[in-house]
Structure 1
Amino acid sequence: MNKALLPLLLCCFIFPASGKDAGWQWYNEKINPKEKENKPVPAAPRQEPDIMQKLAALQTATKRALYEAILYPGVDNFVKYFRLQNYWTQQAGLFTMSAKKAMLAHPELDYNLQYSHYNGTVRNQLAADQAQQRQAIAKLAEHYGIMFFYRGQDPSTGSWRRSLMASGIRMV
């Protein structure tokens, strides 16, 4: 029985010896390589052409289509040109609408509100301009003083004299 037990005992020692782990389970954990985070690489943003290049290309295409339609009359050539022409017309309309919206949103941009020269308001605007000029001249005269030499015989200097006196500048 001892002889039958010996091969059995040897087998018990051989199987554990053939294991690949050489220590405690937590010391020899298999290291799984971390999966690389496959973040989707954002596609390179498509470089939009410079606005000036885009405008030049559209103008060139429109001219080319016009010249082709003139030199080689045909339905296809005219349609190509007319579509480009309609594009320009549409863009002009959109620009006009955005300008109107901007004027409504920002009334301070309207030149006519600050310096109105419509038929009914011309007198009022000119009077306001002249009042500002008089105030500026009077302020300069108070602070710095004005010396004006004129010849009494010359009619142009006489008109200057009257103008200065009308502005509130005292003559000596």
Structure 2
Amino acid sequence: MPTRLEGSCHCGGVRFTCESHAPQPYQRCYCTICRKTAGGGGYAVNLSAAAGSMAIVDPDGLRRVYRAELADAEGRPFTSPGERSFCSRCASALWLWDPRWPELIHPFASVIDTTLPVPPESTHILLESKAPWVVPQVGPGDGCFDDYPAQSIEAWHRERGLWVD
């Protein structure tokens, strides 16, 4: 049975629940968007959950969505399709949903109130975007990638016997 995750922003104005087959907070993202919107340590830890299981409690309408402005390889600007939800009162980054993967939602581990398991190792992704002052704390067995790894979140959990059915 999937793990029920409960999360909230700092002020408690936005709360949510979702179901995750992959509750290990193992993936550290160093992309400019994650580290600037949610990553005080120079990275953010994203989880994976079933988008259809998301239940949001936002009685005061505080949740807002940010879509990052980016540039392609030729320098042409475009708006990311990814929707990053945050609280407009306390500015807590809550989750990412991307229409390219509509079945998934990615809550930030930093706002999860449920006790999360300690992952056996970490995967450091998008290291090509890390800030110069960031020194990744790479442990034994950790994976390091300049871009996205080929292995999916599901495959990472399954390979280690951590996928929760």
TM-score (norm 2): 0.14
Greater share of helix: 1
Q: Write 1 or 2 for the structure with the bigger share of strand.
A: 2
The two structures have a TM-score, normalised by structure 1, of: 0.14
Which is greater in Rg? 1
